């Protein structure tokens, strides 16, 4: 079995949900990490007993690195993905692909030009609830999709944005609510409908966060080629992170997803309930061992102080409950990516597939800013 030597660019908040899956895959070895913050890169390097770099370009010069994970702020995704592809590395990047649509296109071209596979994290497609709904839609048991509604009501205080220099900025985050939070549920909704988007009409507003430049509220109408209309509303002004909701109305029933639960109701009265179970992929004993090895305690302490993981003791506890938006589904997607590389086939979510969601996100912003309906295709 081919062994993949991995470099990780970015040792910040999302680092932990990539670290453990990589540790569990037999033919993967993390050999280098990179971050501009010394405490983060040094702690991550101790965790994997590997080399650390401040400049990602130095990491990319290493000929022994096969795969690069890009876990940096949004505005850095495209240049780093393109540079990694041009260096001949396979790439797995966090969402979004980029801030600008033309940069996402450039990533796809870089992958083709260099013959490498670019995967994009969209982990919520691996929730048990999401998978159950997708299967019911694809096997025809619900009939054709006729309509859809999408709701996200979360809480993001000013302090959330003030913790970094890029959250809530147009030039570095590319937005906030839509491109960072709602992108997940909008991706699921598009995946469920499974057709080309024709037009998008949307509005955005900042109603309660004077510390940011970008939106905390958004709504819109998405029209698909097959006649389906999706209506969405999203806000970061609620009092807590309420379960996100996607209701897909079909000829023979409805499929309702709320956070990690799915309720599929048929017109004949039949009902199917699915609850996400993180234990179907998580080896908790192995997880505990990885993060609690005595040689890694110092690394965990440093990462905890820097705000990457929370306290070391809290990590296993958080993984005991279903967390489909943070960690467990990352394991599934990362495993799929490496299994695909090993088999020489394309992963579930390629750059080309992720581009469809990127196009939708950019069109929402374009519509809101221009106050016009955006037509994506005839």
Q: pLDDT, tens digit, for every residue of 180-228?
A: 999 999 999 999 999 999 999 999 999 999 999 999 999 999 999 999 9
**What pLDDT is recorded for position 301?**
46
CB-side neighbour CA atoms (13 Å) of 93: 31
Contacts 24+ apart (CB under 8 A), 290-294: 290/20, 290/23, 290/24, 291/20, 291/315, 291/316, 292/316
Q: How far apart are CA 42 and CA 353, in angstroms?
A: 35
Tell me: cis bond preceding 96? Omega within 30 of 0 counts: yes
Q: Which residues contact 209 (CB under 8 A, 6 or more apart)?
A: 156, 158, 161, 168, 216, 236
The helix (H) or strand (E) run that includes residue 137 is: helix 128-138
Q: How far is CA 196 from CA 118, 123, 137, 227, 269, in A?
A: 22, 21, 16, 10, 31
- Could you tell me how far CA 74 lies from the centroid of its own chain? 12
Q: pLDDT, tens digit, for every residue of 166-182?
A: 999 999 999 999 999 99
**What pLDDT is recorded for position 311?**
34
In contact, 239 and 155? CB cutoff 8 Å:
yes
What is the helix, strand, coil percentage profile of the chain, to 5? 40, 25, 35
**What pLDDT is recorded for position 1?**
81
Q: Which residues contact 91 (CB under 8 A, 6 or more apart)?
A: 67, 68, 69, 70, 81, 84, 85, 111, 116, 117, 118, 119
Pull the structure tokens for residue 125.
Answer: 């497609």
Q: How far apart are CA 341 and CA 344, in angstroms?
A: 5
**What pLDDT is recorded for position 328?**
81
- Partnered with residue 93 across adjacent β-strands are 70, 120
Q: What are phi and psi of 174, to 5 degrees?
A: 80, 15
Pull the structure tokens for residue 10.
Answer: 């970015």
Q: For each of the chain's 378 residues, which pLDDT tens digit applies?
A: 899 999 999 998 888 889 888 988 999 999 999 999 998 999 899 889 999 999 999 999 999 999 999 999 999 999 999 999 999 999 999 999 999 999 999 999 999 999 999 999 999 999 889 999 999 999 999 999 999 999 999 999 999 999 899 999 999 999 999 999 999 999 999 999 999 999 999 999 999 999 999 999 999 999 999 999 999 999 999 999 999 999 999 999 999 999 889 999 999 999 999 987 766 666 666 666 776 663 454 444 444 444 444 433 333 322 223 343 456 889 899 999 999 999 999 999 999 999 999 999 999 999 999 999 999 999
Q: What are phi and psi of 130, to 5 degrees?
A: -65, -45
Domains of the chain (ranges plus CATH)? 4-123+281-349 (3.40.50.720), 125-277+356-375 (3.30.360.10)
pTM of the entire structure? 0.91
Q: How far apart are CA 257 and CA 255, in angstroms?
A: 7
Q: What are phi and psi of 172, to 5 degrees?
A: -110, -35
Q: How far apart are CA 355 and CA 238, in angstroms?
A: 30
């Amino acid at each position: 079995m081919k062994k993949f030597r991995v470099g990780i660019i970015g040792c910040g908040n999302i680092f932990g949900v990539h670290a453990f899956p990589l540790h569990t895959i037999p033919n993967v070895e993390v050999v280098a990490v990179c971050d501009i913050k010394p405490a983060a890169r040094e702690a991550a390097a101790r965790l994997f007993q590997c080399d650390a770099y401040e400049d990602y370009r130095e990491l990319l010069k290493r000929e022994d690195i096969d795969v690069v994970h890009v876990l940096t702020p949004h505005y850095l995704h495209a240049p780093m993905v393109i540079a990694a592809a041009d260096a001949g590395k396979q790439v797995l990047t966090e969402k979004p692909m980029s801030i600008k649509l033309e940069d996402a296109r450039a990533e796809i071209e870089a992958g083709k030009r260099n013959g490498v596979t670019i995967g994009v994290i969209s982990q919520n497609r691996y929730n048990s609830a999401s998978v159950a709904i997708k299967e019911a839609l694809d096997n025809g048991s619900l009939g054709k999709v006729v309509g859809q509604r999408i709701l996200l009501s979360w809480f993001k205080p000013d302090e959330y944005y003030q913790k970094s220099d890029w959250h809530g900025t147009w030039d570095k985050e590319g937005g906030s609510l839509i491109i960072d939070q709602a992108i997940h549920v909008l991706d699921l909704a598009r995946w469920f409908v499974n057709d080309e988007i024709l037009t998008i009409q949307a509005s955005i507003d900042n109603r309660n966060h004077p510390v940011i430049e970008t939106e905390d509220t958004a709504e819109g109408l998405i029209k698909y080629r097959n006649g389906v209309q999706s209506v969405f509303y999203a806000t970061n002004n609620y009092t807590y992170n309420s379960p996100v909701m996607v209701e897909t109305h079909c000829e023979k029933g409805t499929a309702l997803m709320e956070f990690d639960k799915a309720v599929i109701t048929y017109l004949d009265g039949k009902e199917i309930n699915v609850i996400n179970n993180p234990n179907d992929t998580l080896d908790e004993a192995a997880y505990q061992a990885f993060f609690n090895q005595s040689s890694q305690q110092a690394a965990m302490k440093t990462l905890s102080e820097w705000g990457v993981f929370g306290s070391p003791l809290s990590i296993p506890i958080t993984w005991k409950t279903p967390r489909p938006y943070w960690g467990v589904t990352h394991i599934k997607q990362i495993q799929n990516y490496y299994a695909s590389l090993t088999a020489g086939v394309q992963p579930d979510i390629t750059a080309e597939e992720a581009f469809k969601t990127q196009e939708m996100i950019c069109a929402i912003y374009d519509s809101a800013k221009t106050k016009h309906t955006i037509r994506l295709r005839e």
